[in-house]
Amino acid sequence: MMRKILACSVLLLVLFLPIASCDEGTSREKTGAITASLGQAPGFSLQDLSGKTFHLEDYRGKVVLVNFTSTWCPYCKKEIPDLKRIYDRYRGRNFELLSVYIQESREKVSSFARKYELPYPVLLDTEGFVSTRYGIRGVPTKVIIAPDGSIVCWMCGDVEKIVDRLLGQG
């Protein structure tokens, strides 16, 4: 019985600790520097719409915003202008935005990406393995990964504020 209670407690902690950290996903010292993470980001390799493979580890040393999304989600469509603005603002500044479409066909996502003129890498998680490893339960979900590979925000709110801090601008 005690083992069952302990197992349930650990499971609840693992599931709800990231949610408790949604606002900024970090703890800060008095200086405002990011001092803690939610653990190392699970590595992944996904193809883009042209078939090129993207490996998360290739972005080590950069701030990475991974946006888990879908073509059918109205909230995902609504945030596209903000994502384009974020991408333009930080492009070329040690930053990358990767948009991961979950369990959708290349054809459907390709048509969607053309329609909305998405300028950032559009990756396909056709089997949902990557989204499962990241604990994604709904879209859109943003994850910010620090240059050292640690997750500093899961289900992020103010993305730009966090990216600015990670790039030493905030």
Taking all residues of the chain, what is their mean pLDDT, rounded to a whole number?
83
Domain boundaries, the chain: 2-166
Q: Please tell me whether the overall predicted TM-score, pTM, comes out greater than 0.85 for this model.
A: no
Distance CA 22, CA 18 (A): 6
Share of the chain above pLDDT 70, in %: 78
The CATH number that domain 2-166 falls under is 3.40.30.10
Query: What are phi and psi for residue 154, nearest 5 degrees?
Result: -130, 130
pLDDT single digits (tens) 32-61:
333 346 899 999 999 999 999 999 999 999
